[in-house]
Amino acid sequence: MGLDKILAIAGKPGLYKLVTQTRGGFVAESLIDNRKISVGIQQNVSVLSEIAIYTLTEEVPLREVLKKIETKENGKQTSISHKDGKDKLEEYFFEVLPDYDEDRVYASDIKKVVQWYNMLQKNDLLNLEETVVSDEEE
């Protein structure tokens, strides 16, 4: 499964896996507790494959940032927690993505990326190669 089936839903904690589409939205399954919820089309939903991180030169897809974290951590959970302080989070992210735009990427964004990485790693959903292939096919 690529990042195109993983969702972040505004107002809901964690990440969700797209299960099926319905007439008025879709059904998603929480990666935290595996509960299924119905999501209406009016809710603010972000597909992880559509998210990018600002750098000083370009926007780097989230897929590539997660891959860099995975390489840095040798496929394990991150060495820091998403609950760590702003300075520690920014220092860590600077090691992962040295040219990220500090003016447009906030500590809250870094916190989300670290939390998402750990959640995807825990659920064995970091096989990001599938997404790369599907992008090239388009």
- What is the pLDDT at residue 78? 93
Distance in angstroms (rounded) separating the CA atoms of residues 37 and 27: 6
CATH topology of domain 51-137: Arc Repressor Mutant, subunit A (1.10.10)
Q: What is the pTM of this model?
A: 0.86
Tokens 């840095």, residue located: 72
Residue predicted with more confidence, 1 or 25: 25
Please state, in angstroms and rounded to a whole number, the distance separating the CA atoms of residues 123 and 125: 6
Which three-class secondary structure state does DSSP give residue 46?
Answer: strand
Q: What are the tens digits of pLDDT across the range 12-33? A: 999 999 999 999 999 999 999 9
For 11, residues 6+ apart whose C-beta sits below 8 A from its C-beta are: 43, 44
The CATH architecture to which 3-48 belongs is Roll (2.30)
Domain coordinates of the chain in residue numbers? 3-48, 51-137
